[in-house]
């Protein structure tokens, strides 16, 4: 990023990020003398979905009034009529009540009911303001679950037990939802949630129930559907089958659980090395550890240092934005030092592009590459016209609970057009805002990313910089680094940075660096 002494004042006001209240701040920041930048800018958060609140109504269950309008003309039939009415009443209650209870419990609006009856939230299915009525029914739970039986007659304790312990223990708490079936039936959710069972219950409660796909999987599925066979970018289906592998090596499940991603990782990291059979070689001869296919796949994994990013969240921040915001914000939590919120960054005469454009172009390529390798990616912006200060950007990473925060920038130095090469910024050892662990992680990330990019592009490696005044690093709660991909003040490097193919090289290189970071290499 570059600061050419503009004093444009732009205000931005807080904005809201889907569900979360991330305040975006705003604006430019100033780097005096250094060519770094934290830049800034727009972004669009396609973040996670946060718990959406259930708008269940409290519809009372229940009972239909019997109209007891009787005309008592015929005194003689009076008794019989009474008798008949009470019989009907009993019958009606017997039919209606359980039905409305079921509605309350499962939240199912039964199919095509014409009445606009919204799912009913039974009061007994609400805990700390959160409605669990689609996955929990008090009567069902306290009669079907042997431990929960002790809470019969104590609805508040029953729901508390379910939320605190029952979910983790995969308890089925209503007729319409069985978390085991749900997890087995939904491969995409498994990829996101792993064995965090609570997330499956909440997913169904909050969004899943709306879609036929998920409703179909809410009960009745007893074996894992479509267990994963792809590790990062490498497809291993030719030599690996989840069911075969766990039946042949049952200790794997006792070690890593029945999570398909974890089991596949075990095959890749331990199995291949030890020549374990991942699929029946009697039926599939390429699955034999002595086959060419087996050797080829094994080599591919080792050679590329491949890694599967399933379950890992990377937040990418494409530096800067179309319009800077030169008002100030504190460089770290509780700091009295203020810096520009976000600048618009450098301009490259040879690429003909602005830094914020190049940053976003590379960031999108990096995002796609990481997703292809199994990672979950959150972008701070996907457009140029945004108002995001460096604090805002860090807060997006925090809200996403990202494992690492990678900030993409290009460099610029006005003193010389000769300087070129790649380097990264991270927090210094004595950074007052961050834990030792986060600082160490950031520096390690900086080294791996710089080296991996240089290996992919052939660029010169420059010394990394460790600083304590980088707002977006100081506010982030996870290891963070700023990648300065190259110098836009250098004719050759700038021209390259603007090119699609070169950008792809950079993105692939950075993805390799991220793989290595998580692989522990
Ligand atoms: Zn920059």
**249 and 359 inside one domain:** no
Tokens of 265: 């990782």
1 within a domain of the structure (yes/no): no
Q: How confident is the model at residue 521 (pLDDT cuts 50, 70, 90)?
A: low
pLDDT confidence of residue 122? 77
Is 410's pLDDT higher than 90?
yes
Closest CA to 316 of 352, 369, 354, 372: 369
pLDDT confidence of residue 57? 29
Write down how long the chain is.
521
Q: Which conformational region is residue 389 in: left (phi greater than 0), alpha (psi within -120 to 50 degrees), or beta?
A: beta
Task: Find the helix or strand (DSSP H, E) in which 130 lies.
Answer: strand 130-131
14 within a domain of the structure (yes/no): no
Cα 500 to ligand 1 centroid, rounded to whole Å: 19
Is 84's pLDDT higher than 90?
no
Cα 1 to ligand 1 centroid, rounded to whole Å: 3
Cα 462 to ligand 1 centroid, rounded to whole Å: 16
Cα 47 to ligand 1 centroid, rounded to whole Å: 23
pLDDT confidence of residue 306? 80
Cα 413 to ligand 1 centroid, rounded to whole Å: 11
Q: How confident is the model at residue 203 (pLDDT cuts 50, 70, 90)?
A: very high
**Cα–Cα dist 16/21, whole Å:** 5
**289 and 388 inside one domain:** no
Cα 18 to ligand 1 centroid, rounded to whole Å: 27
425 within a domain of the structure (yes/no): yes
Buried b / exposed e over 424-453, threshold 16 CB at 10 Å, is bbbbbeebebbeeebbebbbbbbbbbbbbb
Higher pLDDT among residues 226 and 88, named by residue? 226
CATH number at residue 360: 3.40.630.40
484 within a domain of the structure (yes/no): yes
User: Tens digit of pLDDT for each residue in 64-79?
Assistant: 333 333 334 444 444 4
**Cα–Cα dist 33/36, whole Å:** 9
**Cα–Cα dist 495/488, whole Å:** 8
Cα 99 to ligand 1 centroid, rounded to whole Å: 62
Closest CA to 201 of 161, 174, 228: 174
pLDDT > 90 in the chain, percent: 73
**481 and 338 inside one domain:** yes
23 within a domain of the structure (yes/no): no
**Residue where one domain finishes, among candidates 304, 336, 355:** 304
**Cα–Cα dist 454/127, whole Å:** 53
Cα 516 to ligand 1 centroid, rounded to whole Å: 25
**Residue where one domain finishes, among candidates 249, 273, 304:** 304
Per-residue DSSP letter, 210: G
Q: How confident is the model at residue 96 (pLDDT cuts 50, 70, 90)?
A: very low
Cα 291 to ligand 1 centroid, rounded to whole Å: 50
Cα 371 to ligand 1 centroid, rounded to whole Å: 24
Q: Is residue 408 exposed (0-12), middle (13-18) or buried (19+ Cβ within 10 Å)?
A: buried
Cα 336 to ligand 1 centroid, rounded to whole Å: 23
User: Tens digit of pLDDT for each residue in 447-480?
Assistant: 999 999 999 999 999 999 999 999 999 999 999 9
The residues facing 377 across adjacent strands are: 314
How large is the C-alpha radius of gyration of the chain? 30
User: Tens digit of pLDDT for each residue in 489-498?
Assistant: 999 999 999 9
3-state secondary structure of 356: helix
**Rounded mean pLDDT of 290-296?**
95
Per-residue DSSP letter, 362: H
The answer to whether 229 and 243 have CB atoms below 8 angstroms apart is: no
**335 and 205 inside one domain:** no
Q: What's the N-to-C CA distance of the chain in angstroms? A: 31
503 within a domain of the structure (yes/no): yes
Higher pLDDT among residues 220 and 102, named by residue? 220
Is 27's pLDDT higher than 60?
no
Cα 36 to ligand 1 centroid, rounded to whole Å: 6
**437 and 379 inside one domain:** yes
**385 and 440 inside one domain:** yes
The answer to whether 164 and 131 have CB atoms below 8 angstroms apart is: no
**273 and 422 inside one domain:** no
Tell me the pairing of strands 376-379 and 465-467.
Answer: unpaired
The answer to whether 458 and 497 have CB atoms below 8 angstroms apart is: no
**Residue where one domain finishes, among candidates 304, 333, 358:** 304
**265 and 383 inside one domain:** no
**Cα–Cα dist 43/210, whole Å:** 30
Is 286's pLDDT higher than 90?
yes
Closest CA to 9 of 32, 26, 31, 34: 26
265 within a domain of the structure (yes/no): yes
Edge to edge, the sheet with strand 480-487 lists 376-379, 313-318, 404-411, 480-487, 423-427, 465-467
Per the prediction, the chain carries an average pLDDT of 82
Higher pLDDT among residues 169 and 74, named by residue? 169
**498 and 481 inside one domain:** yes
Is 214's pLDDT higher than 50?
yes
pLDDT confidence of residue 102? 35
**256 and 393 inside one domain:** no
pLDDT confidence of residue 121? 59
Cα 42 to ligand 1 centroid, rounded to whole Å: 13
**406 and 487 inside one domain:** yes
**Crossing angle between the packed helical segments 500-519 and 355-372, to the nearest 10 degrees:** 50
CA 457 to centroid of chain Cα atoms: 30
pLDDT > 70 in the chain, percent: 76
Higher pLDDT among residues 236 and 90, named by residue? 236
pLDDT confidence of residue 301? 86
The answer to whether 476 and 397 have CB atoms below 8 angstroms apart is: yes
User: Tens digit of pLDDT for each residue in 361-390?
Assistant: 999 999 999 999 999 999 999 999 999 999
**Cα–Cα dist 348/151, whole Å:** 69
Tokens of 410: 């290009």
**Rounded mean pLDDT of 226-255?**
96
Domains contained in the chain, number:
3
Is 509's pLDDT higher than 80?
yes
In the numeric block, the tokens 């209870």 are attached to 101
pTM of the complete model? 0.70
The per-residue DSSP string of 309-370 comes to -TT-EEEEEE---SS-EEEEEESSTT-S-EEEEE----EETTTTEEHHHHHHHHHHHHHHHH
CA 112 to centroid of chain Cα atoms: 34
**446 and 495 inside one domain:** yes
66 within a domain of the structure (yes/no): no
Tokens of 23: 């305040």
pLDDT confidence of residue 398? 98
Residue 382: domain span:
313-519
């Amino acid at each position: 990023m570059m600061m050419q002494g503009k004093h444009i004042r732009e205000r931005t006001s807080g904005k809201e990020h889907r569900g979360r209240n991330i305040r975006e701040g705003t604006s430019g920041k100033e780097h005096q003398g250094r060519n770094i930048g934290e830049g800034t800018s727009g972004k669009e958060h396609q973040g996670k979905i946060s718990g959406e609140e259930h708008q269940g109504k409290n519809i009372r269950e229940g009972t239909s009034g019997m109209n007891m309008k009787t005309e008592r003309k015929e005194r003689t039939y009076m008794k019989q009529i009474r008798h008949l009415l009470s019989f009907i009443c009993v019958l009606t209650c017997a039919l209606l009540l359980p039905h409305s209870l079921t509605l309350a419990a499962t939240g199912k609006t039964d199919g095509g009911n014409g009445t606009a009856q919204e799912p009913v939230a039974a009061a007994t299915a609400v805990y700390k303001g959160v409605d669990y009525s689609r996955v929990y029914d008090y009567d069902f739970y306290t009669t079907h679950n042997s431990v929960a039986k002790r809470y019969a007659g104590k609805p508040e304790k029953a729901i508390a037990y379910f939320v605190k312990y029952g979910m983790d223990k995969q308890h089925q708490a209503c007729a319409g939802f069985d978390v085991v079936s749900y997890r087995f039936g939904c491969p995409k959710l498994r990829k996101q949630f792993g064995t965090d069972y609570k997330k499956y219950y909440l997913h169904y409660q909050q969004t899943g129930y709306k879609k036929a796909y998920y409703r179909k999987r809410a009960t009745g599925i007893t074996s894992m559907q479509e267990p994963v066979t792809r590790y990062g970018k490498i497809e291993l289906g030719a030599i690996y089958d989840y069911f075969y592998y766990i039946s042949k090596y049952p200790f794997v499940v006792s070690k890593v659980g029945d999570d398909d991603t974890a089991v596949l990782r075990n095959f890749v990291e331990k199995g291949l090395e030890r020549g374990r059979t991942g699929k029946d070689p009697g039926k599939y001869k390429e699955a034999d550890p002595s086959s060419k296919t087996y050797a080829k796949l094994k080599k591919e994994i080792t050679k590329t240092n491949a890694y599967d990013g399933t379950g890992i969240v990377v937040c990418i921040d494409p530096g800067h934005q179309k319009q800077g915001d030169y008002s100030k914000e504190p460089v770290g939590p509780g700091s009295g030092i203020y810096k520009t919120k976000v600048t618009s960054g450098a301009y490259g005469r040879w690429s003909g592009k602005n830094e914020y454009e190049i940053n976003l172009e590379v960031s999108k390529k990096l995002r796609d590459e990481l997703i292809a390798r199994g990672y979950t990616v959150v972008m701070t912006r996907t457009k140029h016209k945004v108002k995001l200060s460096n604090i805002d950007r860090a807060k997006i990473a925090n809200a996403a609970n990202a494992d690492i925060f990678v900030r993409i920038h290009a460099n610029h130095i006005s003193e010389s057009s000769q300087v070129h090469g790649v380097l990264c910024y991270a927090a210094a050892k004595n950074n007052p805002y961050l834990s030792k662990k986060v600082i160490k992680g950031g520096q390690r990330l900086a080294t791996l990313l710089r080296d991996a990019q240089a290996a992919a592009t052939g660029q010169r490696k420059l010394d990394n910089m460790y600083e304590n005044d980088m707002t977006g690093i100081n506010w982030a709660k996870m290891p963070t680094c700023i990648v300065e991909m190259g110098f836009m003040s250098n004719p050759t490097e700038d021209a390259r940075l603007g090119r699609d193919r070169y950008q792809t090289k950079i993105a692939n290189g950075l993805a390799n660096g991220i793989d290595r970071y998580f692989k522990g290499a």
